[in-house]
Structure 1
Amino acid sequence: MKLVAMITEPSSIARFLTALGEPTDVPARSPSADAAAAVLEEHRAPSQRSEPPDGYPKDPT
């Protein structure tokens, strides 16, 4: 395979994808991705968590 051209303009990319019959919008996040993110959040070190797990006091700051 040989690179012939590189498309960098968003309007050109959208036009090209439309001509191919491909979607041009960002797909919705799947429910399984949300569940995986929740599991990862539970297993993060306490200093990396955005919210403390259940049963832990919240930081007053």
Structure 2
Amino acid sequence: MASMMDVISRGQAIQAAVIRKAPATEIDGMRSEAHAVLDAYLDHMTAAAVHVRQIVEP
């Protein structure tokens, strides 16, 4: 849950940067960081699902 809140927060920060006309390089960096957080979240969820499957399989 905290990871998704972090992604949402980063999205809002990107919106604020666009509104204040931040340089594209700054916005691109922020987007890269948000993608990294989302990728880590998805990796974590995938690993958790693998463990659950191993527990419930006969």
Query: TM-score scaled to structure 1, two decimals?
Result: 0.29
Decide which structure has greater helix share.
Answer: 2
Instruction: Indicate the structure whose relative CO is greater, using CA pairs within 8 Å and at least 6 residues apart.
Output: 2
In our comparison, the structure showing a higher alpha carbon Rg is 1
